[in-house]
Structure 1
């Protein structure tokens, strides 16, 4: 591979994985693929309606063909940049691509591209197979939906408990079917004359569906049926409760990891241990603001740092506007210095913020002298290096939006320690 192809490959990887700074393009691509997935599922459904199929003049087939080309191109591009994934960088390009191709996400991407290939290979009477693969494109939503991935992870983590539930339910179904067979076989030989026939009744009863096509006619059978109905509610609640608690735990863990990683990115906290960063993360308070709301106004005392967990904020300068996206932060120097904000930060869209107040951090530092030493040492080094961007904004905060300013050589205010100077 030539050196000239490396930047393109890196840009392609950042675009597909949303890891670079060109987040607008990456998210536009992401939204386009999401819309294409949903549209393809709709196309596959409508294509089976004879009236629509006769009236569209082959339009749906053409749209499916174009979509197949796009999904195939996406799969090839993801395979091409597979060796740039951090876990796969230690392998050769070929081995990295083979390992990537065996991952669940890559297999789903391949399934989404297969219909385009199958329509040229399979005979016309095998259209059902193609339709099934087109509907399986719905699985690609798992790549773009953190909630769906969390649900799948929750189910996978509780698979042993769910298997235990399945064994219990199977045992109850078998026992209920056997009892009903013993009681009702003579009265209803055509419906409950064998245990397999009774199993059908037990399944519909325990799942609370109750079609009503098979019902007990004896008093003993009705008593057994009433007990099985009540037992069905408890059996359904068992796996639901397991999945719900696991899903809530998974969401909490994911939110903690995201919050922890955002705090760890701040240069002021780079010297802290994982446990200390976790302690700082606990101080964050959630705040929601509507689009157009001023988050931090110029002239106000800078005593809070903000992390953007969802939405977009803007910093309006004299000659340009800086946009900060999800995962970005601003106001680090608010935790170091007591001074007025030099610029205003406004919510460009509805935002969910995590706020770290200087007084909350100070209270934590008062309880932990070791933590205090680390933070104040880092603050002093950053002040001596004059790592300033624009007023109270640090260079790193501006670099998040691809903006880099020359370091401010103006004298720095005293190091932060609310209400007093650092001795």
Structure 2
């Protein structure tokens, strides 16, 4: 491989994979916008396909847009495979599989022209999974980094909290399954746990309701318990967010890209190479 080709591949790799650099973040934001446009187009297309006659068929504007989106997504996928140092690692990674999946709908239509358009829309809607890149992108965008650091710091307590909630839902669902039984709509444990989720979150669809006095008492306890638990994750997140913001104020900040989290003895930004501010000034 020539030096010029290696330099070209390296620069393209930085654009496609390196979200630490401003150029990489802009490129990632571009693909997020394209994904949003693709999903929005799909929703417009499926709004009233029988009335407006704009579904993805020969000669429609949506077919043309699908050609454009498929071309862009296919080009991105091929370039990522060609530029990454470990192609198979990318191909079989989560993001690699998502990128591949977003390129397939139009090819499916070419291979099976008689495929139901409703199924095609379901496959195309999977492109919304590409928006998960936004999570990776937000980690390096100013104040959004505070939210990400807060989630990472509080993850153990949040997992413990939601684990406890799941146990409570299973216990109350099991109780209602035994007390109320199939004759009152509690036909199985999954259905009973579904009722517990709806009741604890105080949504109350009313499709399944307790009829016995004991069942109604347990339902009331679960509703009150749900109100009590609502504030717990909010308090945990607020506490950790305050702690993260205080830590960030003590960290050195780049005067160019405003990124933090640099070593105490660093003189230049590890993201853009800009001069770091002295935190002792």
* TM-score between the two structures when normalised by the length of structure 1: 0.49
Aligned to 2:82: 80
Out of 38, 41, 51, which is 2:39 matched to?
Answer: 41
15 and 194 in structure 1: CA distance in 2 versus 1, 3 angstrom threshold: closer
Out of 90, 93, 115, which is 2:105 matched to?
Answer: 115
C-alpha deviations, 1:360-409, integer Å up to 9, x for none? Answer: 44xxxxxxxxxxxxxxxxxxxxxxxxxxxxxxxxxxxxxxxxxxxxxxxx
197 and 123 in structure 1: CA distance in 2 versus 1, 3 angstrom threshold: same
160 and 78 in structure 1: CA distance in 2 versus 1, 3 angstrom threshold: same
Structure 1 window deviating more from structure 2 (127-136 vs 152-161): it is: 152-161
Alignment of 1:331-370 (within 5 A): 356=278, 360-361=280-281
CA contact (8 A) 1:184 1:193 kept: no
Alignment of 1:266-345 (within 5 A): 274-277=263-266, 327=272, 329=274
CA contact (8 A) 1:82 1:100 kept: yes
| Structure richer in helix, relative to its length | 2
Out of 204, 210, 215, which is 2:209 matched to?
Answer: 215
CA contact (8 A) 1:11 1:20 kept: no
CA contact (8 A) 2:150 2:244 kept: no
Q: Secondary structure of the residue that 2:205 maps to in structure 1?
A: coil
CA contact (8 A) 2:184 2:209 kept: no
Q: Secondary structure of the residue that 1:47 maps to in structure 2?
A: helix
| Structure richer in strand, relative to its length | 1
Aligned to 1:9: 9
CA contact (8 A) 2:153 2:240 kept: no
18 and 119 in structure 1: CA distance in 2 versus 1, 3 angstrom threshold: same
1:176 aligns with 2:163: no
C-alpha deviations, 1:88-143, integer Å up to 9, x for none? Answer: xxxxxxxx222233333333322222324333334533545543342232333333
1:61 aligns with 2:63: yes
136 and 254 in structure 1: CA distance in 2 versus 1, 3 angstrom threshold: farther
1:229 aligns with 2:223: yes
Aligned to 2:138: 147
Higher RCO structure (Cα 8 Å, ≥6 apart): 2
C-alpha deviations, 1:265-286, integer Å up to 9, x for none? Answer: 9xxxxxxx94444xx99xxxxx
Counterparts of 2:20 and 2:225 in 1: how far apart (Å)?
A: 54
Question: Deviation of residue 17 (structure 1)?
Answer: 4.5
Question: Deviation of residue 39 (structure 1)?
Answer: 0.6
Counterparts of 1:20 and 1:163 in 2: how far apart (Å)?
A: 28
Counterparts of 2:103 and 2:208 in 1: how far apart (Å)?
A: 45
Q: Which has the larger radius of gyration?
A: 1
Can you give the 5+ residue segments of structure 2 that lack an aligned partner in the other structure? none
Counterparts of 2:107 and 2:239 in 1: how far apart (Å)?
A: 39
